[in-house]
Structure 1
């Protein structure tokens, strides 16, 4: 992925990792389109920022997606980078008599179908570019799950597998496919408390390391992994899976 002169669309770009990526990429001389479901946040992010644009997008709404796709084709036909970052996370207690599949369905709708829908909508535009990239945000939990977030972890494992297939199918096209698999980062993904949890990696430190990896093209197998990701990524290979799973999921 080249680091400047791109036109980039980022889903879930109004907070957390998405917003930090948007700001970092914009600072490197890229035109950045941020999407989200709250106009007030889009206005706040883009105010007074040339080449930083906001678009309302609800990936669960086919009409919303078709409007954004049409706007991209009309106003940003040079779009060459998609960052499919939108995602949600919810804890689930499957031992409870009140547990049902509603939270899991919402997670699948956003984390899996949302990525597939935005990729399908914009892939024809990306394939027309000389140098295009698709980045999708999975998670370190794709490799070793936290059992109290079962559907979330499974959704990210799905993306890890699906991206490998997408990368293989696009191997003869000028479209690079990258997987961004963050560790536990100080965002509000699971709760407000996560944003200040000292055990989590500061979001700006995470994005700074990601930018360095992209600039140096240090993403073997198409996986953008910061140093904190490595132990879980290779847990099965290294024979440490059981110990890491037990530490993450105490009895």
Structure 2
């Protein structure tokens, strides 16, 4: 995948991992379009991004996603990369929470349903491009749940399953690539309440994404996630080898 000369839309691009990715790809010579709900945060982020553009909107709302998709297709026809980064997470114990279903609905909507909807809205546009990509920002949580993030982890597992299916669906289309990035605990405001200060810097996620794009490495584990990914790949290789015998 080329890593310069693209037009890239990043959800949740005004802070954290999204902003780190925006900075990295902006510096590589791409036109970057960021999305967020806060005008103040968007303007602050734009001050750090040379020539970038912001589209304000609540990505969790289906009508807002439709408006954003229409604006992108009408005003930025050259758009060829979408990075689905926006997300929600609640830390709590199921034994102490009386509104777990409400929290799960918020997480599932933003982390899973919104991505499916937005990709569906943008797919006809992307398929017209000579080179296009969808990047879903997943998580180490794909590899197992945690009692303090009981419903968030399930949404990321769902996103992973969907991403694999999306990639397999378009595997014969040489113009569209589907990537998944798996960050571990990352030092952002988003993860501050679960000890994010002990996590990796968001710049590391951006660096790994750029490396993955250059190498057309569709699964991109980051930091600690590489240990889990290697173990799973080794186990799968053994299963395949045994099946052949």
Report the TM range for the smaller structure's normalisation: 0.7 to 0.9
Q: In the alignment, what sits opposite 1:232?
A: 228
CA-CA distance at 1:147 after TM superposition: 2.3
CA distance in 2, matches of 1:191, 1:22: 21
Q: In the alignment, what sits opposite 2:164?
A: 164
The answer (yes or no) to whether the contact 2:6–2:81 under 8 Å persists in 1 is: yes
Residue deviations 1:75-124, cap 9 Å, x none? 10111000001111111321126343111111001101121121112111
CA distance in 1, matches of 2:158, 2:194: 27
Superposed counterparts of 1:212-251, under 5 Å:
212-217=211-216, 219=217, 222-235=218-231
**TM-score in terms of structure 2 length:** 0.88
Q: Please say which of residues 24-33 and 138-147 is displaced more in the overlay.
A: 138-147
CA distance in 2, matches of 1:224, 1:215: 12
CA distance in 2, matches of 1:193, 1:61: 26
Aligned pairs, number: 234
Q: In the alignment, what sits opposite 1:55?
A: 55
- RMSD of Structure 2 on Structure 1 (CA): 2.0
Seen in structure 2, the aligned counterparts of structure 1 residues 16 and 49 have a Cα distance that, compared at 3 Å, is closer
Seen in structure 2, the aligned counterparts of structure 1 residues 149 and 49 have a Cα distance that, compared at 3 Å, is closer
CA-CA distance at 1:185 after TM superposition: 1.1
Q: In the alignment, what sits opposite 2:197?
A: 196
CA-CA distance at 1:208 after TM superposition: 2.2
The answer (yes or no) to whether the contact 1:9–1:34 under 8 Å persists in 2 is: yes
CA distance in 1, matches of 2:105, 2:177: 30
CA distance in 1, matches of 2:25, 2:224: 22
Query: Is there any run of 5+ residues in structure 1 with no aligned partner, and where?
Result: 240-251
